[in-house]
A and B are shown apart, each in its own frame.
Chain A
Amino acid sequence: MYSHFASMLALCQEKHWPLWKAVCAEETELTGRDEESIFARMEHRYDIMAQSAQKALDNPLLGHTGKPTLITGLAQAHQQYAQRGNTLCGPVLNRMMARALSCSEANASMGRVCAMPTAGACGIVPAVLLTLEEELSIPRRKVLEALIVASGVGAVITQNATVSGAEGGCQAECGAAAAMAAAAAVYLMDGTPEQSLQAMSHALINVMGLVCDPIAGLVQIPCAQRNASQAMNALLSADLALAGMVCPVPPDEVLEAMYRTGKSLPPTLRETALGGLAGTKAGQEIAREIHGA
């Protein structure tokens, strides 16, 4: 049994297990669910994620009022941009960002998504896993193992810190999702459990202090940009870990730092739509238009 990253890693080392195996054993202990049923349940979730990552690439999605949201059309436009030969990040990374934007757009339009770990951050893990699955021709079973790694990392974050923007800012939502995706990406590249947790640390370090400042309180702007940027953060953090970078602060302490940083953010920067981007003149005007005076 584990409760922190250190004890999770110790379990992997003691049993010579990959991370997903330790996470599965822990889940079985907690819920009585066996490995086969865990994989089946995860596969259903992965299907939902894949649908939401595709949905807005095909068609711009309108809001529940029948009017465009603040982010309607972003995913399709980005997908078209990704096809051009002269992008800065290249076709693969741009397609990944388009997928993350699609999940955000689906979410904003009252479409079906799978929270990962939250609805606001639901594009990051799917974008990273779907893109690596496609680019590296990874078998489905291994992708599901990576999804279990991501979820196991997210569970440790949830248990010891928070994944709520209202409590810890965007670093706790999109940041946690990036940390989860980074650990999963390392696994897909056959990195060690230790490297997965280093990637998790790098991702949190790269996003530490990021505030939650949604315009008009809606899960649209800047949530869409941050789904795209945190998918990128996940990949670069995985590369840093795979290249051998080791943070002198252990993973559990990095997580604690994220949690404390979140707690010390003023309430105006924790989902209240008062500070940051939401507090700008333009942000306030949009809020008035949407909610009335």
Chain B
Amino acid sequence: MIVSIFEVAGPIMVGPSSSHTAGAARLSRLATLFLNQPFRHVSFGLHGSFARTYHGHGTDLALVAGALGIRQEDEEMKRAFQIAQERGITYDFYPIDLGDAHENSVAITFTLEDGSTTQVVGSSIGGGRVLVTSIDGIDTELTLDSPTLLVIYEDRPGMLSRICAELAYANINIGVLKCSRQKKGGQACSVIETDSPIPQDIQQTLTQLRGVQNALILNPSEA
């Protein structure tokens, strides 16, 4: 079997729909992991089914709740708008056409405290599972089902081998590795899924490597 019984008996979640609430809340919460400072405004571009049915399913509440760090199983989700107001965080929703993206997709744009923005695009692909498809314009494919290392770096020879070496030293096996880049010699992004949890100190080692702009470790226990 390749399907776990806990995929069947689960997720534990706030209703009514694993795609429209649980997945939406999780995606939005995971998107905040890509921010390097607090945000003051978040804007949700809704695509496909999300755009048509978001209010009836409470997807709007779920997305705001996720951005506030409220987990997909927390009934506080219902109070998300109120909690945002209490924290002085504003939000808005608008329809967007993301082309042939999954029906339940959203472009989440955070306005950070220094006025800069970060955009994360992703989909809620069913059963509470999510797929992050783009981070600040760089295409990626992040499911966050296994421990994941995300590295953004300059596209030049030897970078990937240095990054992978750090995992080898820590005796961590790589399950899946995906590389993408904006353009030749531009900004590159690698998503590395591993078979065991990734120690946080690898992040520091990697960010000290010349050419590495950002490294992020996401272990599913936090996801």
Chain A residues proximal to chain B, CB less than 8 Å: 1-3, 23, 26-27, 29-31, 38, 41-42, 44-45, 48, 64, 106-120, 122, 147-148, 150-152, 154-156, 158-159, 163-164, 180, 216-220, 290-291
Contact = CB atoms under 8 A, between A and B. Distances in A.
19 contacts: A29-B1, A30-B4, A42-B9, A45-B9, A107-B15, A111-B15, A112-B13, A112-B15, A113-B12, A115-B18, A118-B18, A119-B15, A151-B5, A156-B1, A163-B8, A217-B52, A217-B53, A219-B57, A291-B52
A196 B58 CA distance: 38
B2 interface: yes
Interface in B89-145: 126-128
A112 B2 contact: no
A154 B8 contact: yes
A151 B8 contact: yes
Contacts of A158: 3, 7-8
B8 A218 contact: no
A65 B108 CA distance: 23
A119 B74 CA distance: 15
Contacts of A44: 12
Please list the 8 inter-chain residue pairs (A to B) with the smallest Cβ-Cβ separation, ordered nearest first: A107-B15, A154-B8, A151-B5, A219-B16, A155-B3, A151-B9, A159-B3, A64-B58
A159 B15 contact: no
Contact of B56 (A31, A148, A180, A217): A217
B10 A110 contact: no
Given A120-B17, A219-B15, A154 B5 contact: yes
B218 interface: no
A106 B16 CA distance: 8
Nearest to A158: B3
Interface residues of B, number: 35
Contact of A30 (B2, B17, B75, B127): B2
A72 B74 CA distance: 21
Contacts of A114: 9-13
A45 B10 contact: yes
A2 B61 CA distance: 41
B21 A110 contact: yes
Provide the main secondary structure of the chain B interface.
mixed
Interface string B44-68: 0000000011011110010000000
A110 B15 contact: yes
Interface of B: 1-18, 21-22, 52-53, 55-58, 61, 73-75, 77-78, 126-128
**Which label, helix, strand, loop or mixed, suits the secondary structure of the A interface?**
helix
Given A27-B4, A110-B21, A159-B1, A291 B56 contact: yes
Contacts of B128: 115
Contacts of B5: 23, 27, 38, 148, 151-152, 154-155
A27 B10 CA distance: 15
B121 to A, nearest CB: 21
Contacts of A290: 56
A180 B57 CA distance: 27
Contact of B75 (A111, A217, A218): A111
A123 B10 CA distance: 13
A2 B1 contact: yes
Contact of A164 (B1, B14, B58, B126): B126
A44 B61 CA distance: 26
